[in-house]
Structure 1
Amino acid sequence: MAHETDPAVLEEVRLKVEKAYGAWEKYRHFPQEKIDPVVERMAAAGREHARRLAEMAVAETGYGNVEDKVGKNYLTAEWLPRKLRGMKTVGLLREIPDQKIVEYGVPLGVVAAVVPTTNPTSTVIFKSIISLKAGNGIVISPHPNAKGSTYETAEVLHRAAVAAGAPEGIIQCLTKPTLEGTQALMRHDRVAVILATGGSGMVRAAYSSGTPAFGVGPGNVPVLLDRSADVAGAVAKIIQGKSFDYGTVCSSEQSLVAEAGLRDAILSELKKGKAYVCNEQEKQALEKLLISPTGGINAKCVGQAPTRIAEMAGFHVPPDTSIITVEIQGVGRSHPLSAEKLSPVLSLLFVPDFKAALDTCEAVLRFGGLGHTCVIHAQDDGHIRQFAERMPAYRVLVNTPSPQGSVGITTNVLPSMTLGCGAVGGNSTSDNVGPLHLINIKRLAYAVRTPDEAYQVPPAGGMAQAHPEREQIAAA
């Protein structure tokens, strides 16, 4: 991103925030029965243009592949809105008669949405739908390398929203994306909340902007293949997850961990699934190519096909290769391929026993993936529960490809493209972010007791008097 001061960039930010805010001043008064048709029309437009937008994204960024990007667009334009139907977000949410509490949903205002280059169109569909479902307006800041596809997606959704009755200007997208423009957007007085998806630097900038923010941390996803698993089925699902959009999803599998006794069976199944198993020389070439000496990911390798990555590393793989696998001996800086790779390259770690497998999976998460996602393939529920309790991750997936499970396609977590990593990952939430994170809840609370009925403060130097209500609770 450019760093020089450009008055035109700052003026565009000002004008588009003001336009979105003006539209929101009208939209904030929409009842649920007027908001939901807007969301449905936006979703229909997302589906109608899903393939064209996916083609634009791949052509513009060079990341991933069209078919899987179409799938991501359908996740956000078909599966997400289907799961949101019936969700109350504005006005009366619920009454709790026995508590004498009534809850109302109140929109936040204008959402500033920072969009990555890896998933530009699906992220715009996702953030726009959850923002408008919650009664908010939105201003989108694209990545410079994806500004065309990002802007076009926003325009498609804006036209649909207005056609369904939303105020003109409710969805805005910057056309001059720069670092200073994004920072100005995040700090604007009329921005109520930030949805930040991108590199760790951008997420930190969102949290330090002074505006409430939902940012997401990096993913370095370990997958434990347990002795109790169906090895063939598990390996097929791991390949399915790792190959999805050439590994651009932050929750894609990064390291497969298994007991050494399963090594031969796993390698056999990987080869059946068209995975390429590297030798030592190819492993060293991949280390130099994918990970910089400072530990960063080589951006030229992000979301590239296995054949292209092998070519860049100086060796060749069959044209139908699904993923590239490489056996490594440990986790941490001295083992560069144990890090997140954002490509269809999967590391393999074989260990002596289940305890060592737990230790290794935890180490992978602590090496750049704290709070994000981990996976176990197993039939032994005891091992599954041990894994869940031990791992410092907030999406613990069982017997599913990781990307599809983490975003709610194969599991019942909320469909989302913003996966919180909690405090341990430097995030404000551990949830799959959705519309309910973009509202405030007003509570109408009736008096049900006097202060003296709640508790009594003992007099100075005295003992607290017996309280019948407390005695009843204690007896219960």
Structure 2
Amino acid sequence: MNHMASGATLARSHDDAPNTREPDVERIVAALVARARAAQRRFEQAGQETLDIAAAAAAWAIMEPQRNRRLADLAVRDTGLGNADDKFRKNHRKTLGLLRDLHGVATTGVIARDEEHGVVEIARAVGVVAAITPSTNPAATPANKIINALKCGNAVIVAPSPKGYSSCALLIEFIHAEFAKAGLDPELVQMLPHPIGKAATAALMKLADLVVATGSQANVRMAYTSGTPAFGVGAGNVASIVTASANPDDAASKIAVSKTFDNATSCSSENSVVIDEAIHARMLDALTKQGGVLLDAAQKARLQAAMWHDGKLSARCTARSATAIAREAGLDDIAAREPKFLMVEESGYGPEFPFSGEKLSPVLTVYRARGIDAAIEIVRGIYGYMGAGHSVGVHGADDALAVRLGTQLPVARVIVDQAHCLATGGNFDNGLPFSLSMGCGTWGGNNFSSNLGYRQYLNVTRIAYRIAERVPEVDALLGDYFRRIGR
């Protein structure tokens, strides 16, 4: 069945792609964008059924088990980050959840009618999307952005990280195979040619209609200064509070799952846990039972020397197993115990306390708090250094405390009694939309505070009809002010 007539052939393979070392990078990128734009103009008029089929084709390209396994294995082989089994699960669950969120959603044509106010809303595509994606999720994040873009009638060009290039190229090869079966134009989904460089990425951002950037803060800043409308994400550095009312075994189990999933490549993985002193000893015991190993001061110093060089995280420790990190730090006795994660105690935050920042590894910083007020101030201090706007976890909170955290801390999400890295980007047991890109609001230097979803890939045109005039009396609106303050 041909859902969108096109004479285009499959996009160039990785080996056939032009080399961006050539001096005419902008010309090469402009040609990609021109092909994408031509395909997109036809695609956006094809109707909801075709848009849905395109999104489904991209989803099945990564979810089909054999292809998913190849992508997961290749991601770990070429990036050295995370573990393949968790990436396999992530590729499936994140895509399945996104399909759930998009199922039956209208994204083209008339999508809403407000008869009372005489307003009709029409969904419109944004055009060509530049998708900037990280090495930590070299298949799952591109797939998420591609599916959202297609669902809304857009074309998308991916700028993967250099390490994630091979995984992204394979993903797009799989998508094009599904497109060929469905009669869809492969020029709707493209990627920058190898090797990926800043010049090509900058050219793509400049020429696209929308930039969605996930990854390093350098890429996000480049997106925001590209001159093109952009959505970028803030830095992760999640802290979770364990209150005196928490069940330590339940909290430790969930924190351990979150801390170890995919070797903590997620920006939503806890970097710190702030424990009320009333439950501190029991919580440390529970974390130890989950496979955590608490280091002493000397071991902590050796780990710090291994993890940071000249103030920068070492790639030799990023997203590796706790055992491998312990060996890298010369902690052979710790490595021999095959820990699931390492723990270090800390009391301060800021550049002089590097363990208070994001670690992108199964290393958990432990703080001790004298009550909930102190715990909140510790988290505020941590986020003053890094991670403002993202989210905070809490175990053992009642509704009043959850609301207090959401009112007083600079966070876009409060995750209650859940494995944080699985919950923040949407899960089947909470109501947050599935995403791999978390907006952090103005606290994190972002222009949105929701999970990046299909709504960010749409324009909306509004038709306003004349309705019966309704002019309120001044006293109806200012009467309370007049009574309290006077005229």
TM superposition score normalised by structure 2:
0.90
Structure 2 distance, partners of 1:433, 1:162, is 28
Does the alignment pair 1:37 with 2:50?
no
Which runs of 4 or more aligned residues in structure 1 lie more than 2 Å from their structure 2 counterparts after TM superposition?
4-12, 161-168, 291-294, 316-320, 379-385, 468-476
Q: Which residue does 2:347 correspond to in 1?
A: 329
Alignment partners' CA distance in 2, 1:354 and 1:473: 40
Return the alpha-carbon distance in structure 2 between the equivalents of residues 60 and 220 of structure 1.
25
Q: Is 1:314 the counterpart of 2:333 in the alignment?
A: no
SS in 1 for 2:187: coil
Give the letter for the 1:61 counterpart. T
CA deviation vs aligned residue, 1:341-385 (integer Å, no higher than 9, x gap): 000000000022211001001111221101111100114332222
Equivalent position to 1:304, from 304, 320, 331:
320
The answer to whether the Cα contact below 8 Å between 1:12 and 1:174 also exists between their aligned partners in 2 is no
Partner residue, 2:105: 87
1:421-472, CA deviations, whole angstroms, 9 ceiling, x for partnerless residues? 111211111110111111111001112256xx64xxxxxxxxxxxxx74456
1:428 aligns with 2:447: yes
Q: 2:213 aligns with which of 196, 201, 218?
A: 196
1:254 to 271, 286, 290: 271
Structure 1 162/90 Cα, relative in aligned 2: closer, same or farther at 3 Å?
Answer: farther
Aligned equivalent of 2:3: none
RMSD: 1.8
Give yes or no for contact 2:112–2:121 (8 Å, CA) kept in 1.
Answer: yes
Query: Given that residues 39 and 161 in structure 1 are in contact (C-alpha distance below 8 angstroms), is that contact kept between their aligned partners in structure 2?
Result: no
For 1:205 and 1:5, locate their aligned partners in 2 and report how far apart those are by CA, in whole Å. 20
| Uncovered stretches (5+) of structure 1, i.e. residues with no partner | 455-467
Q: Does 1:186 align with 2:202?
A: no
Is 1:414 the equivalent of 2:433?
yes
Indicate the larger mover: 164-173 or 174-183: 164-173
2:277–2:370: 8 Å Cα contact kept in structure 1? yes
Residue deviations 1:172-222 (CA, integer Å, cap 9, x gap): 01222111110111111xx11001112111110110000000111111111
Worse-matched range after superposition: 378-387 or 264-273: 378-387
Structure 1 residues 227, 155: CA separation in 2 closer, same or farther (over 3 Å shift)?
Answer: same
> Letter of the aligned partner of 1:265 in structure 2?
R
Which digits, 9 at most, give the CA deviation of each residue in 1:31-71, with x for residues without a partner? 11221122122212211121110111001111000011112
Q: Which residue of 2 aligns with 1:444?
A: 463
For 2:483, the equivalent position in structure 1 comes to: none
1:122 equivalent among 127, 136, 140:
140
Deviation at 1:293, TM superposition (A): 3.5
Question: Structure 1: how far apart are the matches of 2:431 and 2:478?
Answer: 39
The one-letter code of the counterpart of 2:39 is A
The 1-side partners of 2:477 and 2:411 are apart by 37
Map 1:4-403; keep pairs closer than 5 Å.
Answer: 6-7=22-23, 9-48=25-64, 49-176=67-194, 177-188=196-207, 191-294=208-311, 296-316=312-332, 317-318=335-336, 320-403=338-421
Q: 1:128 is aligned with what amino acid?
A: I
Shift of 1:395: 1.4
- In structure 1, what residue type is equivalent to 2:117? Q
Provide the rounded CA distance (Å) in 2 between the counterparts of 1:168 and 1:308: 41
Q: Which amino acid aligns with 1:88?
A: A
- Mean Cα displacement is larger for which, 12-21 or 275-284? 12-21
Q: Name the SS for the 1:93 alignment partner.
A: strand
- Separation in 2 of the partners of 1:413 and 1:169? 32
Residue 18 of structure 1 and its aligned partner are, at CA, apart by 1.4
3-state DSSP class of the match of 2:343? strand
Shift of 1:6: 3.1
Q: For this pair of structures, how many residues does the alignment match?
A: 455
Q: Is the 8 A contact 1:147 1:175 kept in 2?
A: no
State the 1:167 CA deviation: 2.2
SS of the residue corresponding to residue 116 of structure 1 reads: coil
Distance 2:147 2:359 in 1: 29
Q: Is the 8 A contact 1:124 1:150 kept in 2?
A: yes
Instruction: Answer whether contact 2:397 2:416 (CA < 8 A) is retained.
Output: no
Contact 2:125 2:459 in 1 (8 A): yes
1-structure distance, mates of 2:391, 2:183:
39
Deviation at 1:274, TM superposition (A): 1.0
Look up the SS of the partner of 1:98 in the other structure.
Answer: coil
Q: TM (normalized to structure 1)?
A: 0.92
Aligned 8 A contact 1:419 1:432 in 2: yes
Q: Matched residues in 2 for 1:10 and 1:472: separation?
A: 59
**Does the 8 Å CA contact 1:24/1:167 hold for their aligned counterparts?**
no
C-alpha separation in 2, matches of 1:93 and 1:396: 31
